[in-house]
Amino acid sequence: MKRGTKRIILGIAAILVAAAATIAWGFFSALRTFGIEDRIHGAFYPASIAIERFAETNGVPPKTLDDLVPSFLDHIPASPLVDKIEYRVVGGTNWIMNAHSTALKPARVYSWRSDWKFTEQERGKLLKEFHNVAVFEE
């Protein structure tokens, strides 16, 4: 085989290996992100349902997440992937529950809400919405 032909073949092989590695890394990253977000959603989605059930039963959302235990939840949810959970009642009848996580970069806030009205600042940080959760960049 000629020396020039060998270089071309090796160059093409190197490009193919680099392309395969790039695709594999992208797939791994997406799978990791999905897994982390699925675990966070799975941990806190039941609390959002409990808040809704509490509000339907009592006419107003709970003042704190502790008000949900034991009638609507066995315990307040937690996750090793979440650094802080915030809950607040807005305007007397609406509520927001935010889970702050640094498990992914950039750090994210997973937000469950009784309504889907976002401030301009929130819209600017909105990364995605899925399964009744809005994901914001921290």
pLDDT, mean over the chain = 92
Name the least confident of 9-18, 46-55, 93-102, 112-121: 9-18
pLDDT value for 72: 97
Structural contact between residues 126 and 118, judged by C-beta atoms closer than 8 angstroms: yes
How large is the C-alpha radius of gyration of the chain?
22
Residues 42-57 have pLDDT tens digits of 999 999 999 999 999 9
Q: Where does the pLDDT of residue 88 fall: very low under 50, low under 70, confident under 90, or very high at 90 and above? A: very high
Residues 1-32 have pLDDT tens digits of 677 788 888 888 889 888 888 888 888 898 99
In the block, which residue shows the tokens 């806190």? 44
Percent of the chain with pLDDT over 90: 69
pLDDT value for 24: 81
**DSSP states along the chain:** --HHHHHHHHHHHHHHHHHHHHHHHHHHHHHHHHHHHHHHHHHHHHHHHHHHHHHHHHSS--SSGGGGTTTT-SS----TT-SEEEEEEETTTEEEEEEEE-SSSS-EEEEEESS----HHHHHHEEEEETTEEEEE-
The model carries a pTM of: 0.82
pLDDT value for 19: 83
pLDDT value for 52: 96
